[in-house]
Structure 1
Amino acid sequence: MDIDRSPDKQMRVDVWLWTTRMFKTRNLATQACRGGHVKVDGQRAKAAQKVGVGQEVRVRKAGTEFIWKITGFVPTRLQASIAVQCYEDLTPPPDPALRGFVPRRDKGLGRPTKKDRREMEKFLGDMAKPKDRNRRRS
């Protein structure tokens, strides 16, 4: 499949997002446009808005803003190796300082034993015990 890079070629923004595999379905791309999560050249885009080569598309998805510059079009959804040739990724790398600490148990330890739970209760005190919802209030 050839990529159409002609400057006069245009395509709907929701179709372009779907064909370049930014969204799993065209319906999800359309919903993102309706929800205001898609901007073309800084302006909020409707699903039927036409986009051309050289325009910048910004999509807010899963708490991250992605920025792409359109470099071409494919007529239908193709494999990812072809789809990546249709855009230039301008998304800045995530800030490593914003990554939070997630406590995890070592692999292979499984669930805590009764002894482990008792030690946690001893260390945490009342915070480790579940609240009794059936207790009557006086």
Structure 2
Amino acid sequence: MDKWLWAARFFKTRAMAAKACDLGRIKSHGTEAKPARDVKAGDMLQIKTEGGDYEVEVLGLSEMRGPAAVAHTLYRETDASKDAREKAAAERKAMQEFMPLPERRPSKRDRRRIIQFRGGR
């Protein structure tokens, strides 16, 4: 499982893919998947990453990591998953419009107060 997730470019390293499996962020047919689980063509996977939540069907297998164009041929994302990710991205973009930008850079005094507030020094 971890090797396929790495080869399909959902994670940068196999260690990150294995950790995601251990944390329960990868599900195969609705059950949590272990890093050593075998992946077969036709499996439905639910993958939670920093980039969003994916629901994919496995189309092919690969033992090595290749270019992104080749990695994309290993799976097919469901339409519902694509719509949900696009909706979440639009919501994040809309929230940025409501957050006021600071009028200026923090001064040295402001910066020290920020560090102190965050628990530093």
What amino acid is aligned across from residue 69 of structure 1 in structure 2?
E
Unaligned runs of 5+ in 2: 106-112, 117-121
Instruction: Quote the offset at 1:63 in angstroms.
Output: 7.4
Q: Deviations over 1:12-35 (max 9, x none)?
A: x11100011110000000000000
Q: Partners of 1:55 and 1:24 in 2: how far apart? A: 22
Asked if 1:92 corresponds to 2:85, the answer is: no
% identical equivalent positions: 28
Q: Deviations over 1:78-118 (max 9, x none)?
A: 1111111110012232326733422355xxxx9639xxxxx
Structure 2 contact 46–56 (Cα < 8 Å) conserved: yes
TM-score, structure 2 length as denominator?
A: 0.70
- Compute the RMSD of aligned alpha carbons: 2.6
SS of structure 2 residue aligned to 1:48: coil
**TM-aligned CA distance change 1:98 to 1:111, over 3 Å:** closer
Number of positions where the alignment pairs a residue of Structure 1 with one of Structure 2 = 99
What amino acid is aligned across from residue 92 of structure 1 in structure 2?
K
Higher helix share: 2
**Based on CA coordinates, which of the two structures has the bigger radius of gyration?**
1
